[in-house]
Amino acid sequence: MMNDPDRRLFLGGGLAACLVATAPMPVLALTDAGARQLVDRVVADINKVIASGKPLSSMIRDFERIFSRYADVNIIARSTLGQDSRRASSAQMRAFTAAFQGYIARKYGKRFQEFSGGRVEVQSVRKTKSWHEVKSQVILRGQSPFEVLFLVSDRSGRDLFFDMIIEGVSLRLSERTEIGAMLDRRKGNIDALIADLKQAG
């Protein structure tokens, strides 16, 4: 059984994507209000899934739609692959991005059932030098609340989130490490990594 910090990190990943990205370019048009509105929509959609009572397979599909709609998926996938993305062909990057999106949905969407009766609340927003940080609180039955920070940028031309910080732990960095280990086991073979991701989660 996972210890409490690890479990919270994993549960927090189920809120949205387990996200990995490089530091975003400086924010131009994004405002505090825009960043909060984005996370308000994410949280509203997540809360609907939590309360839906749907079968797990349907919840996972809903989770993937949330990830696709509100996360900077292309940037996330490229950053997760790290330096190896530079040697990947365009076709490999497209295949990796699609496989990664499904992997994230399965891996974290499976945890939605543990959110039954819980909720996520947006609390505050502040601008940093190059993005906006939206603080939220996860409230689960039988557990003390814990903090989740959504990091929001408009570097891709739309307001999207590119990372989540669960009680000080970056999902971006956690997944980068996980994907890197998977690639190492395949001796750097990107096609084999893509095949693994299609089955993982």
Written as tens digits, the pLDDT of the chain (201 aa) is: 445 545 455 455 555 443 333 333 343 468 889 999 999 998 889 888 888 888 888 988 998 999 899 988 888 888 899 999 999 999 999 999 999 999 988 888 777 667 777 788 899 999 987 899 999 998 888 888 889 899 999 888 889 988 888 888 887 788 899 999 999 999 999 999 999 999 887
CATH assignment of 4-199, among 3.50.50.60, 2.40.50.140, 1.10.287.3510, 3.10.450.710: 3.10.450.710
Per DSSP, helices labelled H in the chain are: 4-13, 32-52, 56-70, 73-81, 90-109, 171-185, 190-199
- Pair 101, 68: CB distance under 8 Å: yes
Reported pTM? 0.76
Decide if 161 contacts 38 (C-beta within 8 A): yes
Query: Degrees (nearest 5) of the Cα angle 64, 32, 129?
Result: 95
